[in-house]
Amino acid sequence: MDITRIGVVGAGQMGNGIAHVLAVAGYEVLLNDINQDALDKAVALIDRNLERQVSREKISADEKAAAMARISTTMALPDLGKTDLVIEAATEREEVKQKIFDALLPHLEPHTILTSNTSSISITRLASRTDRPEKFMGFHFMNPVPVMQLVELIRGIATDADTYDACLGVVEKLGKTAASAEDFPAFIVNRILVPMINEAVYTLYEGVGNVNSIDQSMKLGANHPMGPLELADFIGLDTCLAIMNVLHDGLADTKYRPCPLLTKYVEAGWLGRKTKRGFYDYRGDTPVPTR
């Protein structure tokens, strides 16, 4: 299947990064969001990030201009019906994703492939509620999308070989590497990564170490580029909690019980960098640990 036009649902942190890399790779991109301000901010951010790539001689000024020209925006979800591939990158809540797919279905071309950028939700379950489970799969980019080289491709139980091959072709055209994952809770990366973050929060909760000592220990003792609590703030504590809940519910194992302190931070609205407070306070010039 020849994919040339791709719809991206959601203009947030993941959606704008996905639109960025698709446009640079030569795809026509239609970016959708329910908020015009979010769309405007996403396009402005893509422009700034592309300009940074120009300044670092990663791409030329002409390539930047061509990429920006390939991106268009819409608040009307049905407009995405004429694309060859849809990548849903909305918030990590199953009911939100399901409403998006329900609204899209009447407008899709017969050949259009549906995918979700979900980091943990069952692809098989999402696919089963559509009219094309064989043309549905997980297309999970890592954050930040322009920098990270991996894309997880997750087949639902009904996903056919042609759909997988078409999505694999997109990943290869982006110059990224695909990891094929089975459709079990949180797939590969987050099945390993987020429980580690949750364990770091337990280490904080139980007073084994403070924010600074935990992050410093993993950076200098395990050679991690970011400490687990710093990384949690970058990902978003609400997203980390959502993934832990998916693991706990889906696998019914107590080792995946979300730490009560993680829940408390989310209840407080301290979600990390995006709200200026999480395990660090980002309201000043330098991040300051909150515990």
- What is each CA distance from 11 to 58, 89, 113, in whole angstroms? 24, 8, 20
Q: Which amino acid is at 213?
A: S
Query: Binding site annotation covers 92?
Result: yes
CA distance 228 to 236: 12
Rounded to an integer, the average pLDDT of 218-241 is 96
Segments in the chain forming alpha helices (H): 13-24, 36-55, 61-69, 94-104, 123-128, 161-173, 189-205, 211-221, 228-235, 237-251, 260-268
Comparing C-alpha atoms, which of 145, 109, 124, 211 is closest to residue 13? 145
Query: Binding site annotation covers 119?
Result: yes
Rounded to an integer, the average pLDDT of 189-213 is 98
Look over the chain and give the mean of its residue pLDDT values, rounded to a whole number.
96
Domain residue limits, the chain: 5-182, 191-289
Q: How confident is the model at residue 91 (pLDDT cuts 50, 70, 90)?
A: confident
Global confidence as pTM: 0.90
Query: Binding site annotation covers 15?
Result: yes
Burial of 238 (0-12, 13-18, 19+ CB in 10 A): buried
Residues 6+ apart with CB under 8 A from 257: 244, 248
Comparing C-alpha atoms, which of 65, 70, 101 is closest to residue 5? 70
Percent above pLDDT 70 for the chain: 100
CA distance 194 to 144: 17
> For 102-133, what is each residue's pLDDT tens digit?
999 999 999 999 999 998 899 999 999 999 99
Comparing C-alpha atoms, which of 85, 54, 88, 52 is closest to residue 171? 85
CATH 3.90.1150.10 fits 5-182, yes or no: no
Query: Binding site annotation covers 274?
Result: yes
Rounded to an integer, the average pLDDT of 214-241 is 96
Q: How confident is the model at residue 57 (pLDDT cuts 50, 70, 90)?
A: very high
Coil/strand/helix, residue 245: helix
Query: Binding site annotation covers 14?
Result: yes
Query: Binding site annotation covers 149?
Result: no
The position carrying tokens 């995946």 is: 256
CATH topology of domain 191-289: N-(1-d-carboxylethyl)-l-norvaline Dehydrogenase; domain 2 (1.10.1040)
> For 257-286, what is each residue's pLDDT tens digit?
999 999 999 999 999 999 999 999 999 999
Query: Binding site annotation covers 97?
Result: yes
8 A C-beta contact, residue 139 and residue 166: no
8 A C-beta contact, residue 155 and residue 142: no
- What is each CA distance from 234 to 113, 191, 197, 230, 277, in whole angstroms? 30, 18, 12, 6, 11
CA distance 261 to 46: 35
* pLDDT at residue 162, as a whole number: 97
* pLDDT at residue 33, as a whole number: 97
* pLDDT at residue 92, as a whole number: 84
Burial of 278 (0-12, 13-18, 19+ CB in 10 A): buried
The residues that are catalytic are 119, 140, 152, 190
* pLDDT at residue 1, as a whole number: 74
